[in-house]
Amino acid sequence: MDKKIALVSGAARGLGEKIARKLHAAGYKVALSDVDLETVSAVAASLDASGETAMALTLDVRRKQDFIAACDAVELRWGGVSVLVNNAGQSRVAALMDITPEEFDDVVAINLKGTFLACQVFGKRFAERGYGRIVNIASLAGQTGGTATGAHYAASKGGVLTLTKVFARELAPAGVTVNAISPGPLDLPIVHELVPADKLAATIQTIPVRSLGDADFIADAVLLLASPDAGSATGACLDINGGLFMR
């Protein structure tokens, strides 16, 4: 069994792209998935235009059938996935009392339901093979309630942390680990797009280390949890937040 085949969701840009690139550089074959097939295909081609070690997949994390199709596609190309990184997510800034039921449902469907479906589909395949690594990208907002993001985002990411524990307990006897990483504010384009410059500057002053997080380091943490040597780490959450939240 090849233990260095990974699928990363939400890999067209931002943190997902960085994670995919880091895994590929470490010798993994990587399936990059996203709803934006054109952009994610370009990223995959930049890693390996031949398609031997990188492939692009269209994947809507709200659809269970899309995960099944992704699983099947990677099995057909490379024999199966051994590492799943649930990175796809949506962050929205909204005042608590202004969030509509539709907006709440949209964010939860992507961030929480998407993680559930991915863990369910891939977790079953991993358990059948007797090996697997699942890394869920959660958020500091899910631990503290958030400040710069909306309540729907914070609630969905809190749910991701709970799902991580539930699936970790269920899948551990089958040789499958499930862990989470909870980043604080990262120095990524999406953060600068969502948060006004003056508010972001004020937020940085509240971070003990006085800087936004390094997305490349988050990708390094994914590599750590994806390792075949990480068998005793499951149900854990790595807090990487500049000191904003300390246990």
- Cite the active site residues: 153
DSSP 16: H
Query: CA-to-CA distance for 219 and 20, rounded, in angstroms?
Result: 8
List phi, psi (to 5°) of 83: -130, 130
CB 240 within 8 A of CB 184: yes
The half-sphere exposure of 123 on its side-chain side, counting CA atoms within 13 A, is 24
Question: Which pairs with CB-CB distance under 8 Å and at least 24 residues apart come from 93-96?
Answer: 93/148, 93/149, 93/150, 93/194, 93/195, 94/150, 94/151, 94/152, 95/150, 96/150, 96/151
Residue type, 153: Y
Q: What share of the chain is helix, strand, coil (3-state, %, to 5)?
A: 50, 15, 35
Query: CA-to-CA distance for 13 and 88, rounded, in angstroms?
Result: 10
Residue 92, SS3 per DSSP? coil
Q: Determine the distance from the C-alpha atom of residue 21 to the mean position of all C-alpha atoms in its chain, rounded to a whole number.
A: 14
Query: CA-to-CA distance for 146 and 150, rounded, in angstroms?
Result: 7
Q: Find residue 34's DSSP bridge partners.
A: 58
